């Protein structure tokens, strides 16, 4: 596997991005969020930790879910801005539908503690 896309640059998404990058198993980690500036800032912070933590994983930011289209794995975390730390069912399902509509649908992992109903809906509806 060479590319992992993390949809949602909130606290959970940033922590996952850093953990994955620091293990140096993927060529690239893409941090995707509508709040592109927040995603870009977190990506920069992680990238600057690379020389200290000895990893070479590239970290990039995007505001468009389409950036996950050619990823090997997509992880659904939570938005950087807003009242909730995780995507709700409707917002999460919309992201999953956009991923499924891509040319090649990646494996999707729902990382939030409350994503059980989202997984069930995704299986039924997508």
* Total-model pTM: 0.87
- Measure the CA–CA gap between 121 and 123, rounded to whole angstroms: 5
User: Six-digit token pair at 18?
Assistant: 């850093």
pLDDT for 105: 65
- Count Cα neighbours of 117 within 13 Å in the Cβ-side half-sphere: 7
Q: What is the DSSP letter of 23?
A: T
One digit per residue, the tens of pLDDT, for the chain of length 126 reads 699 999 999 999 999 999 999 999 999 999 999 999 999 999 999 999 999 999 999 999 999 999 998 899 999 998 998 777 778 778 888 888 888 887 566 788 888 877 888 888 877 877
pLDDT for 117: 82
């Amino acid at each position: 596997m060479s590319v992992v896309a993390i949809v949602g640059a909130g606290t959970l998404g940033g922590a996952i991005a850093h953990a994955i990058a620091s293990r140096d198993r993927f060529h690239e980690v893409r941090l995707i969020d509508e709040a592109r500036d927040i995603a870009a800032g977190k990506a920069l912070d992680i990238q600057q930790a690379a020389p200290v933590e000895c990893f070479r994983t590239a970290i990039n930011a995007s505001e468009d879910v389409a950036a996950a289209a050619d990823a090997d794995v997509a992880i659904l975390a939570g938005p950087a801005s807003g009242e909730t730390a995780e995507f709700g069912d409707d917002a999460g399902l919309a992201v999953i539908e956009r991923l499924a509509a891509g040319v090649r649908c990646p494996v999707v992992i729902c990382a939030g503690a409350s994503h059980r109903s989202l997984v069930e809906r995704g299986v039924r509806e997508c």
